[in-house]
Amino acid sequence: MFELTCCLCVVRGQVVHTLPEGELIWGVAVLADEVFVLRPKGRDDIEVYDAITYRLQRCLTVPNAHGFADMTICTRFRCLYIIDPIAACIHRLKLHGDATRWPVNDKPYGISVNRTLNVLVTCPAVRTIKEFSSHGELLRELTLPDDVINPWHAVQLANDQFIVSHGEADDPIHRVSMISADGRHIVHSHGGQPGSDIGQYNVPRHLAVDCNDFMFVADVNNRRVTLLSPTLDYVGQAVSRDNLKWRPRRLFLDVERRRLYVADNEWKDGVCSAGRVVVFTVQ
């Protein structure tokens, strides 16, 4: 069993539970006693499981959705934000109420909520982070540095700096970068040329950050989840390929229950064809 001590937590590569296999998974999130899993089914797109027993409780439908790319949750407003890259919009789905949406005007891919409860949307093709209010008002748009190519996911730290994962399969640089609050400068970075050695990535796709700014990185083609320090130093592998059946594409960290949720998707004939969620201990 893998064990790793840092200033906040011990990470053990131990599987707690695996949710059922089915359609590929575009997002996973936890609120209170429920786990939300996003799958493209046309209706009942979001499966809701009990966070203790992992039994399916109910399903939610995202109305007028054309496709999915990512999902996050806002605990204050008790709603889900879901990226629709085909319609180039964000769906805001109340957990027990109405659904609305707003345009992004560029193709979105990654989404997160910052400490001011605004919504951060990452648009890879134009290398931007767009910040929206909780109801879709565009507050600002940040263009990332030139060597941040194909940014997939961005999260904002308490000091207002951003952590961005970037790099597609054919890109020369695959990295996790800390970006200044104005979006103009790289403060720290981890990674470089694509590869499988320690300190390298092969498509770092998605991020999860704990309360002390330690970062979990879904390293898709290396089939692992890497843990980085608040200054982006390598700490270790939180999840190895031995713990996964396919490839990790989405993460969610439940700090309260000390659980890391990993969306493990199958890649077959050039497309994602199936998925499941694997739950790991984080202590």
Residue 43 has a pLDDT of: 87
pLDDT exceeds cutoff 90 at 90: yes
C-alpha 189/C-alpha 199 separation (Å) is: 10
Rounded mean pLDDT of 87-100?
Answer: 92
Bridge partner residues of 225 (DSSP): 218, 239
C-alpha 156/C-alpha 162 separation (Å) is: 4
Backbone φ and ψ of 227, nearest 5°: -105, 130
The token pair at 148 is 């941040």
Provide the percentage of residues in the chain whose pLDDT is more than 70.
Answer: 94
Give the structural domain span for 93.
3-282
Residue 246 has a pLDDT of: 95
In CATH, what number is assigned to the domain containing residue 118?
A: 2.120.10.30
pLDDT exceeds cutoff 90 at 1: no
The number of domains in the chain is 1
Count other Cβ atoms within 10 Å, centred on residue 219: 26
Backbone φ and ψ of 151, nearest 5°: -70, 130
Residue 155 has a pLDDT of: 97
Rounded mean pLDDT of 64-87?
Answer: 96
Residue 273 has a pLDDT of: 79
pLDDT exceeds cutoff 50 at 137: yes
pLDDT exceeds cutoff 50 at 6: no
Residue 11 has a pLDDT of: 52
pLDDT exceeds cutoff 90 at 77: yes
Residue of 208, 189, 101, 105 whose CA lies nearest to 145: 189
Rounded mean pLDDT of 247-263?
Answer: 94
pLDDT in tens, 220-240: 999 999 999 999 999 999 999
C-alpha 19/C-alpha 217 separation (Å) is: 21
Rounded mean pLDDT of 73-89?
Answer: 96
Residue 41 has a pLDDT of: 86
Mean pLDDT across the chain? 92
Provide the percentage of residues in the chain whose pLDDT is more than 90.
Answer: 84
Rounded mean pLDDT of 5-22?
Answer: 70
Residue 7 has a pLDDT of: 42
Rounded mean pLDDT of 204-233?
Answer: 95
Residue 10 has a pLDDT of: 46
pLDDT exceeds cutoff 70 at 124: yes
C-alpha 227/C-alpha 239 separation (Å) is: 9
Residue 13 has a pLDDT of: 63
DSSP states of the chain as a string?
Answer: --EEE-SS-EEEEEEEEEPPPBS---EEEEETTEEEEE---SSS-EEEEETTT--EEEEE--TT-----EEEEETTTTEEEEEETTTTEEEEEETTS-EEEEE-SS---EEEE-TTS-EEEEETTTTEEEEE-TTS-EEEEEEPPTT--SEEEEEE-TTS-EEEEE--TT-S-EEEEEE-TTSS-EEEEEEES--SSTT--S-EEEEEE-TT--EEEEETTTTEEEEE-TT--EEEEEE-GGG-SSEEEEEEEETTTTEEEEEEEEEETTEEEEEEEEEEEE-
pLDDT exceeds cutoff 60 at 270: yes
